[in-house]
Amino acid sequence: MKLLYLPAFYKKLKRGPQVITPKDIGIIISYTGIGKDSFCVDAGTGSGWLAVSLARVSKKVVSYELREDFKKIAEKNKIIANVDNLEIKLSDVLKGIKEKDVDLITLDLPNSEKAVKYANKSLKEGGYLVGYLPNTEQVKRFVMKMEHYNFTDMLTIEVIVRDILVRKEGVRPSTKGIWHTAYLVFGRKHTNSEKVNKKI
């Protein structure tokens, strides 16, 4: 029974606060299409599992973390992951995001909706904002805030991976597994042409 299927790379990483695991990391990367030229901002860093994963595929990642003890864990994971394009800032993302022209901003904190206005300022036109939100109440607040700022291409999903038992007696889904981790909300910052179209 593979309750949490972890590739060898993730088994090496340290854990502090709750981490985002590969099933959700994979879809964040694939659904936003980031690549070797992308600039990403992430908050809160926590154990840095998402931050190091983004750093492995993009050009540069800046990650915001409030707590020094969690930053230390993430710095260890940065070394283990062997990425030098990740900057971890001891800083409150709810006081603003300094970076500009960002391709992707990921938010994983209890009140992520409060960072949407800063994300809107920092993203480039068409850039992606992704919220990793364990509870439906958070999803509602986050989506409402994104709609307020005219984000487009909105998508809210949950990623469920089913473990299939393959045995002589028969092949069927396992009755146990990890079901819910969090909901994922995706959206893109509107472009000027989209703003103009709205007015018409």
Ligand X SMILES: C[S@@+](CC[C@H](N)C(=O)[O-])C[C@H]1O[C@@H](n2cnc3c(N)ncnc32)[C@H](O)[C@@H]1O
**Footprint of ligand X on this chain (CB under 6 A)?**
17-20, 43-44, 46-50, 64-67, 70, 92-94, 108-109
Whole-number minimum distance, CB 94 to ligand X, in Å? 4
**Pairing state between β 39-43 and 102-107:** parallel
In total, the chain counts a number of residues equal to: 200
> Smaller CB distance to ligand X: residue 18 or 136?
18
Report the SS3 class of residue 81: helix
Whole-number minimum distance, CB 36 to ligand X, in Å? 21
Q: By Cβ distance, which residue is nearest to ligand X?
A: 44
> Smaller CB distance to ligand X: residue 43 or 116?
43
What distance in Å separates the CA atoms of residue 69 and residue 47, rounded to the nearest whole number? 10
Token pair for residue 33?
């299409």
Tokens 């006081």 sit on residue: 95
Whole-number minimum distance, CB 75 to ligand X, in Å? 13
> Smaller CB distance to ligand X: residue 50 or 86?
50
Contact (Cβ atoms closer than 8 angstroms) between residue 61 and residue 199? no
DSSP-derived letter for residue 189 is: P
> Smaller CB distance to ligand X: residue 38 or 77?
77
**How many CB atoms are located within 10 Å of the residue 182 CB?**
19
Whole-number minimum distance, CB 21 to ligand X, in Å? 8
> Smaller CB distance to ligand X: residue 94 or 161?
94
Count CA atoms within 13 Å of residue 166 on its CB side.
Answer: 2
Whole-number minimum distance, CB 63 to ligand X, in Å? 9
